[in-house]
A = this chain, B = another copy of it.
Amino acid sequence: MAGQPATPSGQDRLLKFKSLERGPSLPQEIVASLTGALLAGELRPGDRLPSEQALATEFGVARTVVREAISQLKYDGIVQSRVGVGAFIAQPQERTAFRISPACFKKRKELLKLLRLRNGVVIEAAADAALARSNRDIARMEAILKEMREAIGDREHGAERHFEAERQLIHVIAKVADNEHALNFVVMIDSQIAEKLRSVAVKNTKATELAAAAIEEQVRLVEAIKRGDPVAAREKARKHYDNAAQRLADRADLADV
């Protein structure tokens, strides 16, 4: 039976967690199914998972596939397993990783929350950057601002360029703040947002008057960093990034839940 079609015979029977439709890899789908059950409250901390064998049968896959899925969940501290006993859903405070569920990009409210999380980090990073900036850093930031201004005139790719420049500025700020953890975090969240919402964000900046206002906000922010004024940097950063988040969330065509 090796190499049989991965959508096996018994697939139309009722599955406990969720059916697999083929597309992404099988372990991935099982992870999604299990985390879904967790989110839905069908699986709660302390619960024991079915045995790997049972899950394999239920999902209609080989045990190795189930093991890969569970190994990913273990890596995040979502489940813990004990030899000879079984695998258990861990307590929330046992988690060792932070990751963004795709659901964040479905609802306007969720997206806003995600952006507010990111903003908290960026705002403090801006203050740190104001204390640690070098002339070279300032030059780099001003080059980014210049790129933004030039982008306004570019009718074709202007919005795209503006969008990228805004991201660049955030990354530079996090880098200047000299905090790799913050940098990693911001880059991670920002990339995910960019990937899922690039088109919306670009449409967003098409409104030139919005872009001009956004640039002005960022100019003030860079000025504060240049002055070495952490209090002002925080204030300007909060002003800009809160506005930007609001603008993006307002525009994003998401469910209003």
Q: How far is the CB of A113 from chain B (nearest CB, A)?
A: 5
Q: Are the C-beta atoms of A181 and B96 separated by less than 8 Å?
A: no
Interface code A136-179, partner B: CB below 8 Å = 1, 0 otherwise?
A: 00000000000000000000000000000000000000000011
Copies of this protein chain in the complex: 2
- The residue of chain B having its C-beta at the shortest distance from the C-beta of A191 within the complex is B93
Q: Known: A72-B72, A75-B72, A75-B75. Contact between A188 and B120, CB under 8 A?
A: no
Indicate if A199 sits at the interface (CB-CB under 8 A).
no
Give which listed residue, B76, B110, B120, B188, contacts A182 with CB less than 8 A. Answer: B120
Indicate if A58 sits at the interface (CB-CB under 8 A).
no
Q: What is the predominant secondary structure among interface residues of chain A facing chain B?
A: helix
Task: Please give, as numbers and ranges, the residues of chain B lying within 8 Å of A121 by CB-CB distance.
Answer: 117, 120-121
Q: How far is the CB of A203 from chain B (nearest CB, A)?
A: 22
Indicate if A57 sits at the interface (CB-CB under 8 A).
no
Interface code A24-37, partner B: CB below 8 Å = 1, 0 otherwise?
A: 00010001000000
Q: How far is the CB of A27 from chain B (nearest CB, A)?
A: 6
- The residue of chain B having its C-beta at the shortest distance from the C-beta of A192 within the complex is B96
Provide the bound-state CA to CA distance between A152 and B116, in Å: 36
Task: Please give, as numbers and ranges, the residues of chain B lying within 8 Å of A96 by CB-CB distance.
Answer: 99-100, 188, 192
Q: Are the C-beta atoms of A119 and B124 separated by less than 8 Å?
A: yes
Interface code A81-101, partner B: CB below 8 Å = 1, 0 otherwise?
A: 000000000001111111110
Q: Are the C-beta atoms of A181 and B113 separated by less than 8 Å?
A: yes
Task: Please give, as numbers and ranges, the residues of chain B lying within 8 Å of A31 by CB-CB distance.
Answer: 75
Q: How far is the CB of A149 from chain B (nearest CB, A)?
A: 25
Q: Are the C-beta atoms of A117 and B71 separated by less than 8 Å?
A: no
Question: Measuring CB to CB, which residues of chain A are less than 8 angstroms from any residue of chain B?
Answer: 27, 31, 64, 67-68, 71-72, 75-76, 92-100, 104, 110, 113-114, 116-117, 119-125, 128, 178-182, 184-185, 187-188, 190-192
16 chain-A/chain-B pairs, Cβ below 8 angstroms: A31-B75, A71-B71, A75-B75, A75-B76, A93-B187, A94-B191, A96-B188, A98-B185, A98-B188, A110-B181, A113-B179, A113-B181, A116-B124, A117-B182, A119-B124, A120-B122
